[in-house]
Structure 1
Amino acid sequence: MSDTPYPIDLDSIRGAFPPGIEAPSLLVEFADWLNGRPWGSVGRFSLQGQFSDHAPIVDGSPLRDRFSLFMRLPDGSAVGGWYGAGLDRDNPPIVGLGSEGDYELLAPSLDGLLAKLTSQQFGNAWSDLLPHDEVECQTVELARWLAGRPAGEPMTPDDASSELPDFRGFVEKWSRDREDYWANHRLMAELGWRLAAHLPKGKKPWDKTNFEVAISGAQYQARVLTRGPQPFEEASSIESLLRDLREEMRRAQPELGLWYAMSFGLYADGRVMPNFEYDLRPTIDGEPALLSEAKADLVRAPRPERWVPKWLAAS
């Protein structure tokens, strides 16, 4: 394990920041300091960017411009900046989105997070931010490096954290609101009605039938996940409904563009809870979606450059 260096992807980190906001020099310099050091020596994480779409939060796509998630933990948790209402967009607080539902404001700033790494001030829910006990600890070296940087505003790990908004409350309210939004959405209600023949046989609240949808330009495919992806009779009749949903979402948040894939669960009470994929190239009839069709969608619904995935930006 001691021979394994930290995974670092600066391109993905830069791309994870909202348009108009660049990765801070402290983060870039920390990545350079960390490069080549044994994984686990100052914490068990990787420096890799991701969008809120893929973070452990309900319906995270609309929150892309509220986060800059630059750190991933082995359990799927994510750490990064939070651009909440009224917060400093140049030096946002650092929050954790936990895979087990732990949502916490970890530090009032990036400086504060790095200071906490050196002092190992993390509770059980965030123990992956502590050094690995099988690797030689390098938090003292990190503290020396931080002390040798040009002086900024003095900052202790917990400085001013009591003055910041309630992050856990924000996430819990967002989750409730989005679940209510989709549970009462007109198109989702119609989708559930049209797929009533596929309601799960079980009646427990968590019983559901899973579906996958791919749309790219004129291409379309829908599958029910029953012993693997399978075609189903109603697929063609729900296409127009799903395209209407796609357009409605584009109008509501045009900078996201058009999603290319959707997965959803149909619950026993008829509710439909969706997830959307804006970045992965969809597979249709066993082949990657035609690039010409995907690009036509991009022309019709342009995105900020850093939100255009590499496969779609290719000429």
Structure 2
Amino acid sequence: MVRTECVTAQTKKAGPTDSLKALPETPYPIDLDSIRGAFPPGIEAPSLLVDFADWLKERPWGSVGCFSLQGQFSDSAPIFDGSPLRNSFSLFMRLPDGSAVGGWYGAGLDRDNPPIVGLGSEGDYELLAPSLDGLLAKLTSQQFGKAWSDLKPHDEVECQTVELARWLAGQPSGDKAACDDGSPDLPDFRGFMEKWSRDREEYWANHLLMAELGWRLAAHLPKGKNAWDKTHFEVAIVGKQYEARVLSRGPQPFEEAASVESLLRDLREDMRTAQPELGLWYAMKFGLYADGRVMPIFEYDVRPAIGGEPAMLSEAKADLARAPRPERWVPRWLAEA
């Protein structure tokens, strides 16, 4: 059976966000719209999660764990090149250090009741529970290791895991969650994530357009001698608009920006062809390493600034018309325009 006594958490963050302190009456940040949008198209947020959010909103932050219920895509989770994995996750929980928790839709797994995984900000990838009800049961018993101590109650807030256990027992799956001590055979999530990172780094290291980009920007190779030294760049492309800057004592224009525009637009089109459901990215950040490798991060949801002003909505709409996305993958700033 599930233990319900409170245990003092050993390592706690200051609050649910960097700017929100853990005060006794601070509510849990909850955004059901973002949670529903974070599920892959065709899969809806389970009623148990929605009901848990309704129960949680009456409790002070930290009373059953230090987190917020807010959805996010794999793009912004602690995953290298996470955009192509949008259909593989439903991330509904955020921790103060930037870690994310949610469902994993791996090969052969139950898409109606996926296992719950943690994507740690320091590279801790862990299968936390075999199901959503299993995760909630673990919250009541605080069965989390040091890397996931933020899922335990805050030691300065009145613990309410006993109340959570009572509530969970009254749910249709509550008795099963409380008494199921075993876990089904599940794939190796850590192995999956580590292989993903290796494969994507190799993919971009050998990408022809990236190799040419690195060659054209050779004048900006980092001067440091460490393998991790890199020069940072940022790019924005929205319809006909374009801007590229090097981050050197703040964003700065650079001489080669105009000559690499066509290259970056070709990259954008090639990526749309490879994964049309993602649409077109609006911003890209990349690091140029001393050996010429370029490692990118793509932004599909941000509305970038171009020339000091937000990108034109008419241009963003033109991109969306040319490269449509599933409705829930259209960013709010564009859907509401």
TM surpasses 0.5 = yes
Structure 1 pair 158/151, CA: closer, same or farther in 2 (3 Å)?
Answer: closer
| 1:107-149 per-position Cα deviation (integer Å, ceiling 9, x unaligned) | 0000000000001100000000000010000000000001112
Hey, what's the Cα distance between the residues in 1 that align with 2:127 and 2:121? 15
Q: Which amino acid aligns with 2:247?
A: L
Cα distance between partner residues in 2 of 1:129 and 1:79: 10
Partner of 1:90: 112
Quick one: structure 1 residues 217 and 34, their matched pair in 2 at CA, closer, same or farther if it must change by over 3 Å? same
> Are 2:304 and 1:262 equivalent residues in the alignment?
no
CA distance in 2, matches of 1:229, 1:238: 17
**Partner of 1:217 in structure 2?**
239
Gaps of 5+ in 1: none
**Match for residue 102 of structure 1 among 124, 129, 151:** 124
2:190 corresponds in structure 1 to: 168
1:310 shift after superposition: 1.1
Among the aligned pairs, what percent are the same residue? 85
The one of 214, 228, 231 aligned to 2:253? 231
CA RMSD of aligned residues (A): 1.2
Q: How many residues of Structure 1 are paired with residues of Structure 2 in the alignment?
A: 315
Paired position in structure 1 for 2:5? none
Closer, same or farther in 2 for the Cα pair 1:96/1:244, shift >3 Å?
same
Q: Does 1:135 align with 2:176?
A: no
Distance 2:175 2:260 in 1: 57
After TM superposition, give the deviation of residue 161 of structure 1 in Å: 3.2
1:185 partner amino acid: H
Paired residue secondary structure (2:288): strand
Alignment partners' CA distance in 1, 2:207 and 2:145: 39
SS in 2 for 1:161: coil
Q: Does 1:303 align with 2:325?
A: yes
Assess, with a 3 A threshold, how the Cα gap between structure 1 residues 122 and 295 changes in structure 2: closer, same or farther: same
Residues 132-183 of structure 1: per-residue CA shift (max 9 Å, x gap): 0100000000000011123478235875535000000000000000000000
Q: 2:179, 2:83 → 1: CA distance?
A: 30
Q: Measured at CA, do residues 223 and 157 of structure 1 come closer, stay the same or move farther in structure 2, by a change above 3 Å?
A: farther
Aligned to 1:197: 219
Asked if 1:273 corresponds to 2:301, the answer is no
2-structure distance, mates of 1:200, 1:125: 34
Q: CA deviation at 1:220?
A: 0.3
| 2:9 matched residue in structure 1 | none
1:124 maps onto 2:146 in alignment: yes
> Which amino acid in 1 is paired with 2:133?
D
- How far, CA to CA, are the matches of 1:152 and 1:74 in structure 2? 28
Q: Secondary structure at the match of 1:140?
A: helix
Distance 1:186 1:219, change over 3 A: same
| Alignment TM-score, normalising by the size of structure 2 | 0.92
Equivalence for 2:135: 113
Rounded to whole Å, the distance in 2 between the matches of 1:135 and 1:97 is: 26
Quickly say closer, same or farther: Cα 1:201–1:136, change in 2 above 3 A.
Answer: same
Gaps of 5+ in 2: 1-22
Describe the SS at the equivalent of 2:281: coil
Q: Which residue of 2 aligns with 1:41?
A: 63
**Aligned residue number for residue 59 of structure 1:** 81
The equivalent residue for 2:205 is 183
SS in 1 for 2:133: helix
TM-score normalised per structure 1: 0.98
